[in-house]
Amino acid sequence: LIERIRTRARVRSRDVRIAIGDDAAVLRGSEDHEALVTTDLSIEGVHFRRDWHSPESIGHRCLARGLSDIAAMGGTPTAAFLSLACPQGIDPKWLDRFFDGLLRLAKRFGVALAGGDTALSPTTIIADIMVIGRTEKNAAVLRSSARVGDQVYVTGILGGAARDLHALIRGERKLARDSVFLWPEPQVKIGRKLRTVASAMIDTSDGLSVDLAHVCLESHVSAIIDAERIPIAQGASLEDALHGGEDYQLLLTASRKTRVPRLLFRIGEIVSKKRHPVYLKRGAHVAPLPQRGWQHEM
Amino acid sequence: LIERIRTRARVRSRDVRIAIGDDAAVLRGSEDHEALVTTDLSIEGVHFRRDWHSPESIGHRCLARGLSDIAAMGGTPTAAFLSLACPQGIDPKWLDRFFDGLLRLAKRFGVALAGGDTALSPTTIIADIMVIGRTEKNAAVLRSSARVGDQVYVTGILGGAARDLHALIRGERKLARDSVFLWPEPQVKIGRKLRTVASAMIDTSDGLSVDLAHVCLESHVSAIIDAERIPIAQGASLEDALHGGEDYQLLLTASRKTRVPRLLFRIGEIVSKKRHPVYLKRGAHVAPLPQRGWQHEM
């Protein structure tokens, strides 16, 4: 569907530098800044379940998705807009707690909830969050600028959200209080630092295999990652770390010569474009890595 | 619900000049410009019906709502973002025609479709459009700045959308090809001209009685409008013109001393704050005008 929209959206504007296809759009701002814009849908039954997520967690996750997109551009989030459709008769207390979760996260990141729209929904709760951010002129880190020889890094452990989702599916109802699946933490601070380090960057919202493929396809390169180097969350499997989404870490590439922050995990390398976008190395064996991340996209 | 959100959204940011409660938010831009941001939900069964509206009309109306909000601020729209959730198995041809309608309007106004998000919807089609615009520094026309003694104007005839909606409800399926209910025209060009004329401005998306009340409540004044002066669409009733929404004309106030464009209809006057926000004068009789516009808001 994204492809259909992209090929259809041919109208250009001098105010738009980068449009559809990155974590956020880049709009020309003032002399020294540019604006970042991202939108993310959260739909009941697709992105969350009211019997799995507390109202606070749903509000938190809704905004976290947008903040993470701004982080993946190396930007600072400044304002958020919420479009919220609820079925008739929604409990006002549910809404209050939803806003508790959303606004607590907004406050921590100094982001203003600056507007939005509300409507009746025929059935389920639908929230669309738009986050606006800013970065220095031409500083936004795109997906399309990874180069052959660059090293591939992630900012933190992967697979924790998939591990917790599987626990919920198995019927377990007691997740850790700081479960990354319930309370994902947007990597805004490290994202800002990485804007001068990364050649390309994306957040791991759909899963490592899918998100790294996005970078490779946009950059016209391929990547080889090393199974032994992938930082796996406690209790998670390699599969969870490779294909589970919603960890909201940052995935980046950087030149071999660039000095990177120590806390990054180096997991692989960018190579010239091959038949598949991503390959997994296990010991001496290298094989194509299928894209089996969580794809909410149709 | 808007009130609940507004009172909850206390976090401030130096980048946000005007937040929730106007047609669009105003963000600080560069030295000489500021940015306008608006979001509008379009939900199947609430804002449109697939048996009433062609896919092209739904795409057109979805974007028109956002363009009209920017027009009501006196701004120029520059970019749009679309979040679209569709049920599984949606006909790709439906989507193509939806984009035909949306992009045709975008092109006419020089607006780029710069991004967005897509998702599966459990049941109905949900589109959230975000439109970004710009205007000169401190030039955005707000709802909150009408003053006692100002005259009240509208930019065009009212009640046409309500007339057509009633025809559809009665089972008539042949609307005029240029029906304002199917193909509303955002008043962007006249809105730009009015930014130096209007003391306050809003678009008539919810209906004259509701939208004028918004201006009065935000400006801490009341208004008296004259039934004989309201420009009523052919075949529409005074009720349609007073309470029918989705005509997407501009409703504005201007000082008595300001010279206004000739094509405006003068319909009333701003008076000091009384018990009700809006009063209707019929001959010698003046009575409170209830707010019975189309309220999609919960």
CA distance A229 to B45: 51
- Residue A150, judged by CB atoms within 10 A of its CB (0-12, 13-18, 19+), counts as buried
Average pLDDT, chain B: 90
Q: What is the pLDDT of residues B236-275, one digit of tens each?
A: 999 999 999 999 999 999 999 999 999 999 999 999 999 9
pLDDT exceeds cutoff 50 at A10: no
At residue A20 the predicted structure's pLDDT band, cuts being 50, 70 and 90, is low
Q: Helix or strand or coil: residue A57?
A: helix
Q: Helix or strand or coil: residue A159?
A: coil
Check if the beta carbon of residue A146 is closer than 8 Å to that of residue A258. Answer: no
Check if the beta carbon of residue A203 is closer than 8 Å to that of residue A74. Answer: no
| A64 touching B (Cβ < 8 Å) | no
CA distance A89 to A78: 33
**Residue closest to B37 by CA, chosen among B73, B1, B91:** B73
Q: What is the pLDDT of residues A177-188, one digit of tens each?
A: 889 999 999 999
Between chains, do B83 and A40 touch, taking CB under 8 Å as contact? yes
pLDDT exceeds cutoff 50 at A298: no
pLDDT exceeds cutoff 90 at B32: no
Predicted pLDDT at B49: 92
Q: What is the mean pLDDT of residues A78-97?
A: 91
Cβ contacts of B134 on chain A, cutoff 8 Å: 15
Q: What is the pLDDT of residues B133-173, one digit of tens each?
A: 999 988 999 999 999 999 999 999 999 999 999 999 998 87
CA distance A199 to B239: 61
Bridge pairing between strands B221-226 and B278-282: parallel
Predicted pLDDT at A196: 94
| A220 touching B (Cβ < 8 Å) | no
At residue B293 the predicted structure's pLDDT band, cuts being 50, 70 and 90, is low
Task: Indicate which of A7, A41, A123 best probes the interface with B, i.e. most B CBs within 10 Å of its own CB.
Answer: A41
Instruction: Give the 3-state DSSP-derived string for B191-252, with helices as H, strands as E and coil as C.
Output: HHHHCCCCCEEEECCCCHHHHHHHHHHHHCEEEEEEHHHCCECCCCCHHHHHHCCCCCCEEE
Sign of CA dihedral B125, B130, A117, B74: negative
CA distance A2 to A298: 8
* Cα angle value A59/A60/A66 (rounded, 5°): 100
pLDDT exceeds cutoff 50 at B225: yes
Q: What is the pLDDT of residues A225-260, one digit of tens each?
A: 999 999 999 999 999 999 999 999 999 999 999 999
Which of A:101-160 have CB within 8 Å of B?
103, 106-107, 110-124, 126, 128, 130, 132, 134
At residue A118 the predicted structure's pLDDT band, cuts being 50, 70 and 90, is confident
Between chains, do B298 and A40 touch, taking CB under 8 Å as contact? no
Cβ contacts of A29 on chain B, cutoff 8 Å: 29-30
| A5 touching B (Cβ < 8 Å) | yes
